[in-house]
């Protein structure tokens, strides 16, 4: 299926690895120009090279721009919008994403821990939306996809910082998506990953294994058994869903929370 977005410009945050990179790869395969952002320069350069190779293979001449910046800061967002070779603020697609907050016990989280989580996982996407949606609406096309978490739908006790900050974003997006933007071609949706095989998941598995005194392989297999699909998802599967939400065909989907978890969530809705 032609997604009808070749030649658009996408800003993909947290895109040197994992789910963000999966989204950037899927968009590049659709002929979309991408600006990718992450803090660590080494992984970012490797991602940029890999995406350029995809673009060359796709042969549609799309651009790949990399910005080494912390997207959770004003300066980082300004750098993303000032990227040489990029479109300034005139992105057609914005995929918001940053690392998730650390797990822990809520009794040990002081105000600073909450502010860091809210900054990265709520206020940063809101700032990116604020900076781009009016331009998108003026041009008649826009797609915002926020990478959140299945924890918004089924909270995980040790991820209280994530449950709280991402739920705040979810409520905000639900309102803005219905504020007149859809009629001007702009949709906003949240994409909720369950368990996907990325560095972050590997880190969580290692911590769980250490705490339980079991091997990482054991924990990995036990967790996969709990998922109806019998496995973790892949960044490419996640990217394909993101690309569809960004497509011309998804203009009638807005204000939604789309769960991709291999069937792990046990509810009907
Ligand atoms: P990952 O493999 O650790 O990749 C995270 C990416 O984001 C990296 O490129 C990282 O690069 C970048 N990043 C992190 N903080 C950033 C910042 N402040 N500014 C710019 N870039 C930043 O993680 P992932 O598994 O893809 O997860 C992506 C998001 O989905 C996270 O919020 C995570 O909590 C959420 N999630 C993931 C899963 C899962 O199973 N994987 C499940 C539920 C929710 P640098 O560190 O170099 O900046």
For the residues of 198-210, what is the DSSP string, one character each?
SHHHHHHHHHHHH
Q: Indicate which atom in ligand 1 lies nearest the CA of residue 43.
A: 47
Report the pLDDT value the prediction gives residue 4, as an integer from 0 to 100.
97
Is the Cβ–Cβ distance between 191 and 145 less than 8 Å?
Answer: yes
Top pLDDT among 211 and 213 is at 213
Is the Cβ–Cβ distance between 262 and 233 less than 8 Å?
Answer: yes
Cα atoms in the Cβ-side hemisphere of radius 13 Å centred on 3: 21
**Cβ–ligand 1 contact at 4 (below 6 Å):** no
**Would you state the structure tokens that stand for residue 246, as one six-digit string?**
């960004």
Test site for ligand 1: of 14, 75, 193, most ligand atoms within 8 A of the Cβ: 14
User: Is the pLDDT score of 131 beyond 90?
Assistant: yes
In which band, very low, low, confident or very high, does the pLDDT at 59 lie, cut at 50, 70 and 90? Answer: confident
Is the Cβ–Cβ distance between 30 and 56 less than 8 Å?
Answer: no
Report the pLDDT value the prediction gives residue 175, as an integer from 0 to 100.
98
Top pLDDT among 59 and 259 is at 259
Q: Which of 39-48, 69-78, 145-154, 199-208 has the lowest mean pLDDT?
A: 199-208
**CA pair distance 169, 189, nearest whole angstrom:** 11
Test site for ligand 1: of 13, 16, 19, 191, most ligand atoms within 8 A of the Cβ: 19
User: Is the pLDDT score of 247 beyond 90?
Assistant: yes
Is the Cβ–Cβ distance between 37 and 11 less than 8 Å?
Answer: yes
Q: How far is the CA of 19 from the centre of ligand 1 (A)?
A: 7
Q: What is the helix (H) or strand (E) element at residue 13, kind and residue range?
A: strand 9-13
In which band, very low, low, confident or very high, does the pLDDT at 207 lie, cut at 50, 70 and 90? Answer: confident
- pTM value? 0.97
Report the pLDDT value the prediction gives residue 198, as an integer from 0 to 100.
96
Per-residue pLDDT tens over the stretch 95-110: 999 989 988 899 999 9
Per-residue pLDDT, averaged over 60-77, amounts to 96
**CA pair distance 232, 208, nearest whole angstrom:** 16
Three-state DSSP state, 193: strand
**Cβ–ligand 1 contact at 31 (below 6 Å):** no
**CA pair distance 238, 257, nearest whole angstrom:** 14
In which band, very low, low, confident or very high, does the pLDDT at 88 lie, cut at 50, 70 and 90? Answer: very high
User: Is the pLDDT score of 208 beyond 90?
Assistant: no
């Amino acid at each position: 299926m032609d997604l009808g977005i070749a030649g658009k410009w996408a800003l993909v945050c947290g895109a040197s690895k994992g789910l963000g990179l999966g989204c950037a790869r899927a968009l590049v395969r659709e002929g979309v120009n991408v600006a990718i952002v992450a803090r660590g320069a080494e992984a970012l350069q490797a991602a940029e090279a890999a995406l350029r190779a995809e673009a060359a293979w796709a042969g549609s001449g799309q651009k790949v721009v990399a910005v080494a910046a912390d997207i959770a800061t004003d300066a980082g967002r300004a750098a993303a919008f000032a990227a040489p070779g990029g479109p300034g603020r005139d992105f057609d697609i914005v995929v918001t994403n940053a690392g998730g907050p650390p797990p822990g016990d809520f009794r040990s989280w002081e105000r600073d821990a909450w502010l860091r989580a809210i900054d990265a996982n709520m206020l940063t996407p809101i700032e990116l939306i604020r900076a781009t949606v009016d331009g998108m609406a003026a041009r008649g096309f826009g797609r915002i996809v926020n990478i959140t978490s299945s924890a918004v739908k089924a909270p995980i006790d040790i991820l209280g910082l994530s449950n709280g900050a991402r739920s705040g974003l979810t409520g905000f997006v639900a309102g803005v998506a219905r504020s007149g933007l859809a009629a001007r071609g702009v949709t906003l949706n949240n994409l909720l990953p369950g368990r996907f095989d990325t560095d972050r998941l590997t880190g969580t598995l290692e911590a769980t294994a250490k705490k339980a005194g079991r091997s990482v392989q054991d924990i990995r297999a036990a967790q996969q058994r709990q998922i109806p699909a019998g496995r973790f998802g892949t960044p490419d599967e996640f990217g394909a869903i993101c690309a569809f939400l960004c497509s011309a065909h998804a203009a009638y989907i807005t204000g939604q929370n789309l769960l991709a978890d291999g069937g792990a969530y046990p509810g009907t809705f």
